[in-house]
């Protein structure tokens, strides 16, 4: 049987990839989506309060709505991990033992959480260490937890954890939350369960079978049942690097139509060079990328 050739394969099922899929369906492009996590990192958000038409929605709920929208258009999402892309006259996408073929590709692979890179970090993963408050907050009812970071993600994680934990420390290396939105800072400051620890870094994870405490570089020690790490993220650039796609500080460079320097490959979302990493921006870039792919296919 002859291998099926898609008009477009989208790699990534976050806001950028799912938005691209919706537009590709409207343009009648024969499209396949690969995404290990539906909604991407946005699915982990405690509350999303700045996405137009929703005054407040959880990341999980928004991801579900994205998935339903794409499903209603008859598009297929595969959860297989893309391991390799080869280009000849068309693109060959490898996922383990399977191969798929496409005329165009949109890379919307997003970012992955940055780790502390400390001893015991991997050992304590799932035993006190977490990178997802939305996933694990309920396991820490009446416990003492910490959050590392000072961004919106860190503050919203702390707010969610405060609904379960008895006390939440926010451990941040600077002397104030200068990166977070004022609205989140105000909510954190009003929450009596949350205690900021400024000018501090976690330098040691202490425990036997699970996390019991952390040591800070100010020589203080905090007893903790859990530590949630929210210190940013890094772009997933293994595939673009192998394809010779031009990067800037690790992020994919695109033109105004989301084209990369490799013909037939477009990119959208947090994996690209952008001044504002927001769901609405990623979704808009996904729409532009799909339109650009459609124009080239005509």
pLDDT higher for 189 or 1? 189
Give the pLDDT score at 83.
94
| Cα end-to-end distance, the chain, whole Å | 27
Give the pLDDT score at 11.
97
Q: Are residues 188 and 283 in the same domain?
A: no
Each residue's pLDDT tens digit, 123-180: 999 999 999 998 899 999 999 999 999 999 999 999 999 999 999 999 999 999 988 9
Each residue's pLDDT tens digit, 35-91: 999 999 899 888 898 888 999 999 999 999 999 999 999 999 999 999 999 988 899
- Assess whether pLDDT exceeds 80 at residue 278: yes
Q: Are residues 84 and 156 in the same domain?
A: no
Banded pLDDT at 285 (limits 50, 70, 90) = very high
- Assess whether pLDDT exceeds 90 at residue 297: no
- Assess whether pLDDT exceeds 70 at residue 244: yes
* H helix count then E strand count, the chain: 7, 19
β-sheet bridge partners, residue 187? none
- Which domain covers residue 74, as residue numbers? 5-112+233-297
Give the pLDDT score at 2.
58
Radius of gyration of the chain (CA): 21
Q: Are residues 13 and 71 in the same domain?
A: yes
Q: Are residues 217 and 247 in the same domain?
A: no
Average pLDDT of span 172-189 = 95
* Contact in structure between 270 and 153 (CB atoms under 8 Å): no
Q: Map tokens 């297989």 to a residue.
A: 80
CA distance 187 to 70: 35
Give the pLDDT score at 24.
98
Q: Are residues 76 and 129 in the same domain?
A: no
Active site residues: 132, 135-136
Show the CA angle centred on residue 257, arms to residues 256 and 259, nearest 5°: 105
Give the pLDDT score at 3.
77
- Assess whether pLDDT exceeds 60 at residue 1: no
Task: Choose the final residue of a domain: 185, 206, 229.
Answer: 229
Q: Are residues 89 and 121 in the same domain?
A: no
- Assess whether pLDDT exceeds 70 at residue 97: yes
Q: Are residues 89 and 71 in the same domain?
A: yes
Task: Choose the final residue of a domain: 229, 260, 282.
Answer: 229
Q: Are residues 266 and 283 in the same domain?
A: yes
- Tokens coding 203: 């330098």
- The total number of structural domains in the chain stands at 2
Give the pLDDT score at 275.
84
CA distance 82 to 205: 34
Q: Are residues 184 and 40 in the same domain?
A: no
Each residue's pLDDT tens digit, 228-243: 999 988 898 889 999 9
Each residue's pLDDT tens digit, 194-226: 999 999 999 999 999 999 999 999 999 999 999
Average pLDDT of span 249-262 = 96
Q: Are residues 37 and 63 in the same domain?
A: yes
Q: Are residues 97 and 16 in the same domain?
A: yes
Q: Are residues 186 and 281 in the same domain?
A: no
Q: If DSSP states are collapsed to H, E and C, what string results for 50-98?
A: CCCCCCCECHHHHHHHHHHHHHHCCCEEECCCCCEEEECCCEEEEECCE
Task: Choose the final residue of a domain: 169, 201, 229.
Answer: 229
Average pLDDT of span 6-25 = 97
Cβ neighbours of residue 110 under 8 Å, at least 6 residues apart? 12, 14, 16, 40, 41, 235, 236, 269, 270, 271
**Treating both helix axes as pointing N-terminal to C-terminal, what angle do 59-72 and 15-26 enclose, rounded to 10 degrees?**
20
Any idea what the CATH number is for the domain that residue 193 is in? Answer: 3.50.50.60
Residue 43 to residues 69, 132, 177, 181, Cα–Cα distance (Å): 15, 10, 24, 20
């Amino acid at each position: 049987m002859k291998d099926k050739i898609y008009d477009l394969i989208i790699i990534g099922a976050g806001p950028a990839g799912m938005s691209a899929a919706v537009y590709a369906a409207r343009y009648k492009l024969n499209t396949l989506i690969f995404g290990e996590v539906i909604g991407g990192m946005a699915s982990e958000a405690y509350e999303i309060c700045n996405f137009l038409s929703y005054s407040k929605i959880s990341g999980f709920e928004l991801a579900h709505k994205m998935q339903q929208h794409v499903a209603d258009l008859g598009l297929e999402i595969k959860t297989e991990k893309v391991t390799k892309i080869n280009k000849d006259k068309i693109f060959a996408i490898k996922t383990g033992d399977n191969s798929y073929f496409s005329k165009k590709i949109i890379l919307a692979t997003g970012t992955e959480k940055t780790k502390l890179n400390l001893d015991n970090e991997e050992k304590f993963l799932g035993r006190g260490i977490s990178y997802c408050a939305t996933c694990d907050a309920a396991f820490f009812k009446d416990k003492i937890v910490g959050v590392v970071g000072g961004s919106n993600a860190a503050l919203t994680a702390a707010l969610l954890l405060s609904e379960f934990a008895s006390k939440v420390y926010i451990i941040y290396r600077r002397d104030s939350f200068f990166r977070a939105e004022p609205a989140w800072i105000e909510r954190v400051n009003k929450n009596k369960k949350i205690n900021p620890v400024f000018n501090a870094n976690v330098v040691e994870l202490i425990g036997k079978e699970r996390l019991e405490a952390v040591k800070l570089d100010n020589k203080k020690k905090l007893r903790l049942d859990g530590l949630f790490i929210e210190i940013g993220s890094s772009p997933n650039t293994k595939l673009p690097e192998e394809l010779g796609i031009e990067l800037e500080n690790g992020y994919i460079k695109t033109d105004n139509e989301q084209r990369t320097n490799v013909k037939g490959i477009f990119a959208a979302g947090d994996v690209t060079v952008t001044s504002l990493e927001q769901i609405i921006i990623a979704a808009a870039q996904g729409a532009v990328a799909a339109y650009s792919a459609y124009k080239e296919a005509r």
